[in-house]
Structure 1
Amino acid sequence: MELQQKIDRITDILRRDDGISGAMHYTEQISWILFLKFLNDFEEEKEGEALLNNTKYERIIINDFRWNHWACPKTDEGKPDVETSKTGGDLTQFVNGQLFPYLKGFKNSLSDLKSVKYKIGNIFEFLDNRIASGHTLREVLDIIDTLNFQSQDELFELSHVYENLLQGMGNDGGNSGEFYTPRAVIKAVVEALAPQPGQTVYDGAAGSCGFLIEAFDYIINKYRNKLSTEQWQFLHENTFFGNEKTPLAYTMGVMNMILHGIESPNILKQNTLTANIRDIQEKDRYDLIVANPPFGGKEKPQIQQNFPIQSNATELLFLQHFMKSLKKGGKAAIVVPEGILFQTGNAFKNVKEELLANFNVHTILSLPAGVFLPYSGVKTNVLFFDRTGATTEIWYYECNPEQKLTKNKPIQYEQLQEFVELATKRALSANSWLVKATEIVDTDLSAKNPNTNNDIDHLPPREIMVLIKRNDNEISRLMAEVEQILEEGHNG
């Protein structure tokens, strides 16, 4: 059975369990079991390496709680030991009463925040076994036991299967939507940023850590066999940083990074916006920042006080945080809702004035509507800016897929490939154009493609319909702007 088929089989088994409801639950439950099997194989591999090098490897997990002892014990011949395998109520009782308390305890007994053991404690702090039936759990354990995470091919395949699970959880709707940015967007944005060994990379709204993992994969693939031992260690231990406030997203993100080969991810479970940005010093800053922060939320007055320009719009607060967290010479790419670009209410205008004056906003990628379906239809853009001086000229690129994006027809990397190819050269095309900073009126940064034919008399009916829809969008924009001004007036 192929890996994806095995995961699909587990998903079907879990759907029948009384404790599981929806993709969020079964992804969470598959995750902790996968993780413990991965950890077992990781430790066995380390033990084997130590034996070859005539050294000793100190296991993280003590014998009673190792996979081969409680989950799937083996006979001396290496076959499943049916006699000592727990199942039913015995298995559930052991997992809930002994295994989880043991793993949760790691966080309290350690001071080394970078150790794998501490990260395990972090992960299990927010997890519980939701599988009601011990017989269901036994079925799942037996399937996962057939996976071999010492095989690089299988580990690579697992990382992609896991991404699919997280995407499924995102597609389940509700709050899980914040977990998942489409893979195509992540890949295109990271390729445009082009991270390098030795740089620090930060995502203050990490979710399932898709941006950080893509940056890791980019460096590994581009600089394969060129990294020194020090660079390799820095890449695994001191390159990637992030915050995530939602417990489930945090847990999934840390596991996702470890499953992708980043053994000690520096991801903290905290709300990024609780930090007062006035306290951020150069030593606290990062070379690269890449993020898709939540938008449309409302923050309390005590959170707003952490920012010089106060607003209850989470997107404006995150943008200020990222501006303040970027090193001199650093590069950022931030996904923002369309409203940030065109709104000119006091807070929006002031943040954008600071952005244009103190940062080089060199690129704006206009994404098509529907990129974040099914959980948001909001039109979005990606702001690329460097901390290298003021903005002089912005290169715009408008992504225009031939077909409308839907839940079942999501954006593809190929639809963003031209953007990646043209971005470094800032080349002009039917989809790209340049705007001088002096031409920007009232901090309106919205993308208005000058190459679009506006001669309505000679347009075919289909294109006239597109223009009418565009006008509707413009009216919606203006309405949002008026609402924002009224709200600011009310709050003031």
Structure 2
Amino acid sequence: MLSPHLKRKVDALWNKFWSAGITNPLVAIEQITYLLFLKLLEALDNYRVSKGKPSIYTDADRCRWSYIKQDRTPQHLLDVVFPWLRQLETKLAETGASENGIEAIGNRMSDAYFQLDPNKAAILSESIDLIDKLFERADSMNASMDVMGDTFEYLLSEIATAGKNGQFRTPRHIIRFMVELLDPEPGAHIVDPAAGTGGFLFSTLQYMLKQNTDPDNLRIEWDGTPYRAYGDQLPEDGYEQIHNGANYTGFDNDRTMVRIGWMNMVLHGIENPELHQRDSLGKRRDDDPMAPLLASERYDYVLANPPFTGTVDIGDLDISAFPRAGKTGKKANQAITGKSELLFVWRMLDLLRIGGRCAVIVPEGVLFGNTDAHIKLRRELLTEHLIEGIISLPSGVFQPYAGVKTSILIFQKETGKLDARTWKENEMPRTQNVWFYEVSDEAYTLDQKRNERKGQNNDLWDAVVKFKEREIDNADDLLYYQPDYYAERWRLVDQHALEVFPDVKEVALWKDRFAAVHELFPDLPSDPAKMEEVVINRQSPQLQILAQDFLNETARNAWERLQSANTEKEMPVAKAALKREASRFTKLCNQQKTVFDQEDPIGWKLFQRTYQAEIEIAIDFYARQIENRETIDHIEMDEERIKEKIKTVAKAFAKLDGYDVMLRTLELKKRERMLSESKCWSAPVRIFVKNDEWQSEDGLLKGSHDETGQVRPEYAATINLYDGKGNLIDGLLDPDCIEARGWNLSAGQYKPFTFEAMKSDKSVVEMISDLRKKEQKILEGIDTLLAMVEGKV
């Protein structure tokens, strides 16, 4: 919920590095991260010194952030600070580890280099100022941590433009949705084997805090971003569990991403996160320090959006985590595939403990690909484990960086690594039915621009409810669950606000935090439009009285002159005199600009419009009296008194300063008659075709199914579903079940047919004509293909 002025400062920071010639967003954010790290480092050192430990700045005071702010030259950073930073790990070993995370950060900087042109000193100086302002509370690590985390996240939004090799920043609303599907609890161990900037990890922290926060305190932005997730309803040790970095593990190949991700997680309140540079698919060395973190069956939850456009070298893989390509020869020591999207799912299964759960974004090909590896993975997930659901995402979710169609695969590990059974066709799959949901509308438009769809229907809210209700019989799938949306005005209670409203206790309570205006001033309504209406209605009469008092003497003088003068000649003179005096009143009002917030001055703009309107009314009021020769009573004018009263009115308008945000209710309400067809459905994995001729060996059981229509276990145990080559024998399984379709898990394969989908404005004759044209094109295409095969083309 960053204010517009903070976003402008972040944009300005980007522009500084861009103008300095650093056009790669990853490089720019890395350089910004270095500077922020140096600022944070001095704060951490101050803490450890207060605990009686030696400073890391012994003989290196010129490397302190406080010194860097004074020197401000690229050459100082290049020649002094960064060589020291690269040796930080050695320095930490000499001074001893601390309790607040400083020991975990030294080795992340051993290859840190500053890349800003030494001739760009002015840009560095401006960048240091911006970083200092944007993260001014980084040294206190107080309740403003969420603001700093949001600021860094906004900074990271530019990383997506650098997406390559299948890597791009996962939209945060999709991440929050996936976390909510898994519903993790405090103390759980979470891993992301392709962590990037740590989005899944810190979003899990936010979710657990949100779930344990008093609803009266909690606020949810329109896209699901939580605010004021204090975790105030956690048990005594719950807060420490949630913030324990040992519970959050992430791996990424890119050292720059690891460095950036580590800073992101720290700024979101996770101390000592286990975020490391490592190929999570690669071989493990005997002396590998990461071995405990990559151990099989270690984690409760896996959340990930792994790269899915690459092929890895089979020889570099940790073969223990993947099925083999064959049973004998070289293939017995090779993984079944080199496709990263399949390998990552198998690695996730390996990392999960029995009963652990996973939500992962996969390209659509994983769900319907027909290679041996694709089919084996799907069969293993369905027969050995429990697929809880598949949520089909629209193809524009990752625009403008990738147009690939994806789905979210949610599963639970049911079979341990040592207990994995060889697939036997006669044993029923552990997954009996697969639940599907098709998302068509979400928080943003699906074109290249990805514009916000504030306050509009969002299938993700509906999908969360229906996923949790998927096993309820007779659930009404045509109900649609959505929140209500509403607006509030928020502002940062900074030093300026404290000085303007020193006697307002609510303002003092929210010091250095963001608060809604109506929380600071309970006499105002929460809706911004109504709030403005209330203030204007209260203060306009006051301004009118003050304007009339201020113009009174000028008006009386003009009225007295008019008693012995020509009205037609005197009126222009009188109006000019009133306008001159009105400009002095305007000047007094303009002097109150210092009362208003300089960053988000909505109140100032309303104050200007209101006093300008009221002064015009006062001029017209006196002009009519003068022209009609009506008596104008004398009012004693005390300019100082008027000035004080204008200030009082201005302060009333200053309450309106801030920025408007759209929030959503916590509750999701049922909406009827919004869906013409269901957005979710289930498909059975294995359904036997009835065989009334079958009977058991003893002749006691007749027919493959019992009286309730369920297949008899005795029948299932005796039927060979596959021939000697592994092909499914026709006629034994219902052709609409998942197994009969080659374990295909594409949602569209099982979407129920509805007549609603057939509705058209065209006549039946026109529809038949269109179908015939399509049929002709298909036949022509087949002829062309046949000619190519026969070598005629």
> TM-score band, normalised by the shorter chain?
0.7 to 0.9
CA contact (8 A) 1:397 1:432 kept: yes
For 2:150, give the aligned amino acid: H
Pick from 287, 295, 310 the counterpart of residue 297 of structure 1.
Answer: 310
CA contact (8 A) 2:400 2:448 kept: yes
CA contact (8 A) 1:405 1:411 kept: no
Aligned residue for 2:114? 129
Percent identical among aligned pairs is: 28
Aligned residue for 1:215? 204
Q: Does 1:157 align with 2:172?
A: no
Mapped partners of 1:134, 1:339: distance in 2:
50
Displacement of 1:269 after TM fit? Answer: 0.7
For 2:387, give the aligned amino acid: V
Q: Does 1:376 align with 2:362?
A: no
Displacement of 1:107 after TM fit? Answer: 8.1
Matches within 5 A, 1:269-308: 269-275=277-283, 284-304=297-317, 306=319, 307-308=322-323
Aligned residue for 1:81? none
- Structure 1 unmatched runs, 5+: 74-84, 476-492
Displacement of 1:328 after TM fit? Answer: 1.2
Mapped partners of 1:113, 1:211: distance in 2:
27
Displacement of 1:189 after TM fit? Answer: 0.4
Mapped partners of 1:411, 1:109: distance in 2:
51
Mapped partners of 1:328, 1:305: distance in 2:
21
Mapped partners of 1:110, 1:207: distance in 2:
31
Mapped partners of 1:188, 1:120: distance in 2:
31
Displacement of 1:152 after TM fit? Answer: 3.9
CA contact (8 A) 2:393 2:405 kept: yes
Mapped partners of 1:443, 1:43: distance in 2:
57
- Structure 2 unmatched runs, 5+: 213-230, 286-290, 325-335, 416-429, 479-677, 687-736, 779-793
Pick from 145, 170, 177 the counterpart of residue 181 of structure 1.
Answer: 170
Displacement of 1:457 after TM fit? Answer: 6.2
For 2:33, give the aligned amino acid: S
Task: Describe the SS at the equivalent of 2:86.
Answer: helix
Pick from 447, 451, 456 the counterpart of residue 747 of structure 2.
Answer: 447
For 1:194, give the aligned amino acid: D
- Residues 336, 113 of structure 1: alpha-carbon distance in 2 compared, 3 angstrom cutoff: farther
Aligned residue for 2:241? 234
CA contact (8 A) 1:243 1:271 kept: yes
Task: Describe the SS at the equivalent of 2:191.
Answer: strand
Task: Describe the SS at the equivalent of 2:187.
Answer: coil
Mapped partners of 2:403, 2:93: distance in 1:
42
Number of residue pairs aligned between Structure 1 and Structure 2: 445
Task: Describe the SS at the equivalent of 2:747.
Answer: coil
The structure richer in helix per residue is 1
Task: After superposing the two structures, state which structure 1 stretch, 377-386 or 177-186, moved more.
Answer: 177-186
Aligned residue for 2:259? 251
Q: Deviations over 1:165-219 (max 9, x none)?
A: 22211124435x6141011110100011111011100110101110001001111
Pick from 378, 382, 389 the counterpart of residue 356 of structure 1.
Answer: 382
Matches within 5 A, 1:466-481: none
CA contact (8 A) 2:281 2:318 kept: no
Aligned residue for 1:432? 680
Task: After superposing the two structures, state which structure 1 stretch, 236-245 or 282-291, moved more.
Answer: 282-291
Q: TM-score, normalised by structure 2?
A: 0.51
Q: Deviations over 1:276-333 (max 9, x none)?
A: 69x9997752011111111120111203561224111101111111111111111111
Mapped partners of 1:114, 1:204: distance in 2:
27
For 1:302, give the aligned amino acid: G
Aligned residue for 1:77? none
Aligned residue for 1:324? 350
Task: Describe the SS at the equivalent of 1:197.
Answer: coil
Matches within 5 A, 1:19-418: 20-44=22-46, 56=52, 59=55, 62=58, 64=61, 67-73=64-70, 85-87=71-73, 89-96=75-82, 98-103=83-88, 105=90, 116-132=101-117, 133-146=120-133, 147-149=136-138, 150=140, 152=142, 154-175=144-165, 178-223=167-212, 224-228=231-235, 230-235=237-242, 236-275=244-283, 284-304=297-317, 306=319, 307-309=322-324, 310-388=336-414, 390-401=430-441, 405-409=446-450, 414-418=458-462
CA contact (8 A) 1:273 1:318 kept: yes
Aligned residue for 1:13? 16
CA contact (8 A) 1:287 1:329 kept: yes
- Residues 316, 112 of structure 1: alpha-carbon distance in 2 compared, 3 angstrom cutoff: farther
For 1:232, give the aligned amino acid: Y
Q: TM-score, normalised by structure 1?
A: 0.81
Task: Describe the SS at the equivalent of 2:207.
Answer: helix
Task: Describe the SS at the equivalent of 1:331.
Answer: strand
